[in-house]
Amino acid sequence: YNPYSISPTEGGSRVGGTQSFSNTIEASIPLSEATKMRLAFFLDYGVIGSDPILTTNGKVTPGNVARSSGGAVIEWQSPFGPINLIFADAINPKDGDYTSFFEFSMGTKF
């Protein structure tokens, strides 16, 4: 999903949320120790909305937005810094969500 593309709405306008939750699980295998490359597979899940995010039985509160995605990443610790080729697919997209299949990133995450 693209940044800022998932949000609760009021009257057709994105209103954001007061709370969010996200979780990632990842498994990786080395491709080449000499070139510092690895292949990783991931599954992401997140919820954004207002208080409370989840009901007492663990379901997403109506009005809040939950999405998930999965994919693979080729990571290279290059001499210029980390380079990632990310291939992802939205698992439960809804009408109006903005998704992308490929992302290139360079540099560290904060």
CA gap 64, 108 in Å, rounded: 31
Handedness of CA 96, 100, 105, 108 (dihedral sign): positive
Tell me the average confidence (pLDDT) per consecutive run of 10 residues in the chain, 110 residues long: 71 75 94 93 89 73 84 95 95 88 85
Supply the pLDDT for residue 107. 87
CA gap 56, 32 in Å, rounded: 46
DSSP letter for each residue of 61-98: PTT-EEEEEEEEEEEEEETTEEEEEEEEEESS--TT--
Closest CA to 86 of 98, 72, 100: 72
The whole model's pTM is what?
0.76
Eight-class DSSP state of 4: T
Supply the pLDDT for residue 109. 65
Report the SS3 class of residue 101: coil
